[in-house]
Structure 1
C-alpha cells in the first residue's frame, strides 16, 4: 500500500491508484485513473517505474491492460507489447 499512497499523494494528475490482490495472492488488479494523458506519462516516467517496479519485475506477470483513450508511446517503450483492450474515450 505504500506505493499506492506515494502515487496518490505525490503524482499530480493521479485521480485514483489502488491495488486489489486476491486472497490466494496468485492474482490481482491494479486500478489507475489519471487526469489526462500527460499525467499518465508522468507516472510512467516516475519512481514507480524507475525505482520501485524493477524490484518486482520477476514477481509480476502483466496479462493485459484495459485503457480508455490512447496510451502514450512511452508506455510501449517501458512495458512492450502488453495486450491492450482500448475503450475509446
Structure 2
C-alpha cells in the first residue's frame, strides 16, 4: 500500500481552516445583516453615515476577517515545497 504524501495532509488541514474562516465570515455577515437589519428603517442607528447593520456586517466584518486571515496564514499555515522528493534507497 502506497503511503500518502505528507503534503496532502498539510493541504487538507489548511483547506479545512479556510472553509472554517469562510463559514465564520458568513455567520458574522448573516448575523449582523439580518439580525440588526430586520428592524423597521425608522429604528436604524447610523455609524459614520451607514446603517449600523451594514457597518458591522460589511465594514467591521471585512476588517475582522482580514486580520484573522493574516494571523492564520502567518501562524498556522506551512510552507510546502512543490518539487518531487526522490527516494534514495
Q: TM-score, normalised by structure 2?
A: 0.28
Structure showing the higher helix proportion among its residues: 2
Q: TM-score, normalised by structure 1?
A: 0.28
The higher-RCO structure (CA 8 Å, 6+ apart) is 2
